[in-house]
């Protein structure tokens, strides 16, 4: 698959994932929903590896990759599923829009990537200004909203660090193997968490929740994670997270149309700041893409 096709697929999946996460917890605890999702995902991954005859390496760098990727997935998903109960799905996607900035900051210290240019500094400041506006709004969208926004931000940091760390390890292994290896670590962690913190099965599973869990297990976990690891091996960490420039807008619109979510005006202002900051932060990448498109048209 080309990097461009993988990019488009990830955008489509990530745009629908926050809303599907919210729907998947209807009528059940969030730990049951995420554990079931990951279990479906790892079973499908292992089946695909067997059908496609993809080997799973177990050398040192491979084991490190599985561990880092798995811990990143576990921490981020635990936080996101907890927070999704209290804030709109579009706001979750918006907060994940900060991932390119956080990933770039981490890449300065861990990778041999270029430091901050004046545009990147301006974009970073504008992005965090938007985050401050969201917090300063009072977030009256529901109970525990402040805590939910904070915990989702922790998820963004964990996923950003995991992204950069996996690239730093530099293991040349198939993306499907990375997904399978990381999910094999994640599933037991979630099962233990569910047993210790919840341990109850839903008496009835809401149809929309069931379909959402299945969708997330197949697309959100298997295809989404595989394409994600496929892309980060081929691009810089900041370029990889460029996907989040589009997904916050599409996720906000989907939340309003399909879930009746209402976003405060101040939050929309924060969204505009974050997205404008992302454009400045990734301006060099965007300008290069535009130049290539113009050259091809000519």
Query: What is the rounded CA–CA span in Å between residue 203 and residue 174?
Result: 40
CB 188 within 8 A of CB 126: no
pLDDT band at 180 (very low <50, low <70, confident <90, very high): very high
**What tens digit of pLDDT does each residue of 106-155 get?**
887 777 666 667 777 777 787 778 777 776 655 556 667 788 888 999 99
Predicted local distance difference test score (pLDDT) of residue 135: 66
- How high is the pLDDT of residue 296? 53
Tell which wins on pLDDT, 63 or 145: 63
Q: Specify the higher pLDDT residue, 81 or 91.
A: 81
Mean pLDDT of 43-53: 92
Q: How far apart are CA 132 and CA 126, in angstroms?
A: 10
Confidence at residue 64, expressed as pLDDT on a 0 to 100 scale: 94
Least confidently predicted of 103-107, 134-138, 271-275: 134-138
Question: Mean pLDDT across the stretch 172-186?
Answer: 90
Backbone angles phi, psi at 6, to 5 degrees: -65, -40
Please report how many Cα atoms fall inside a 13 Å half-sphere around the Cα of residue 152, on the Cβ side: 29
Residue 215: pLDDT above 60? yes
- Contact in structure between 52 and 176 (CB atoms under 8 Å): yes
For every residue of the chain, DSSP letters joined together read: --HHHHHHHHHHHHHHHHHHHHHHTTTS-HHHHHHHHHHHHHHHHHHHHHHHT-----SHHHHHHHHHHHHHHHHHHHHHHHHTTTS-HHHHHHHHTTHHHHHHHHHHHHSS-----HHHHHHHHHHHHHHHHHHHT---SSTTHHHHHHHHHHHHHHHHHHHHHHHHH-----HHHHHHHHHHHHHHHHHHHHHHHT----SS--HHHHHHHHHIIIIIIIIHHHHHHHHHTTS-HHHHGGGGGTHHHHHHHHHHHHH-----HHHHHHHHHHHHHHHHHTHHHHHHHHHHHHHHH-
pLDDT at position 256, please? 80
Average pLDDT, the chain: 82
State the pLDDT confidence band at 236, using cuts at 50, 70 and 90.
Answer: low
């Amino acid at each position: 698959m080309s990097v461009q096709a993988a990019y488009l697929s990830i955008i489509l999946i990530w745009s629908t994932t926050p809303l599907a996460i919210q729907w998947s917890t209807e009528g059940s605890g969030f730990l049951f929903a995420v554990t079931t999702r990951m279990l479906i995902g790892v079973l499908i991954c292992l089946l695909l590896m067997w059908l496609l005859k993809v080997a799973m390496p177990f050398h040192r760098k491979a084991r490190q990759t599985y561990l880092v990727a798995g811990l990143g997935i576990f921490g981020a998903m635990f936080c996101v599923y907890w927070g999704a109960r209290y804030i709109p799905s579009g706001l979750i996607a918006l907060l994940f829009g900060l991932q390119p900035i956080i990933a770039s900051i981490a890449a300065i210290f861990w990778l041999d990537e270029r430091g901050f240019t004046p545009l990147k500094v301006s974009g970073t400041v504008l992005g965090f200004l938007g985050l401050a506006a969201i917090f300063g709004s009072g977030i009256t969208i529901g109970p525990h909203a402040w805590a939910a926004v904070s915990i989702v931000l922790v998820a963004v940091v964990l996923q950003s660090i995991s992204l950069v760390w996996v690239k730093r390890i530099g293991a040349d292994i198939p993306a499907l193997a990375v997904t399978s290896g990381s999910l094999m670590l994640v599933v037991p962690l979630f099962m233990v968490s569910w047993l210790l913190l919840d341990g109850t099965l839903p008496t009835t599973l809401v149809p929309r929740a069931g379909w959402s869990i299945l969708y997330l297990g197949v697309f959100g976990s298997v295809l989404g994670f595989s394409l994600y690891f496929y892309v980060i091996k081929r691009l810089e960490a900041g370029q990889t997270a460029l996907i989040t420039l589009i997904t916050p807008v599409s996720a906000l619109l989907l939340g309003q149309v399909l879930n009746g979510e209402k976003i405060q005006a101040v939050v929309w202002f924060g969204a505009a700041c974050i997205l404008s900051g992302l454009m400045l932060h990734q301006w060099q990448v965007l300008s290069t893409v535009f130049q290539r498109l113009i050259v091809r048209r000519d």
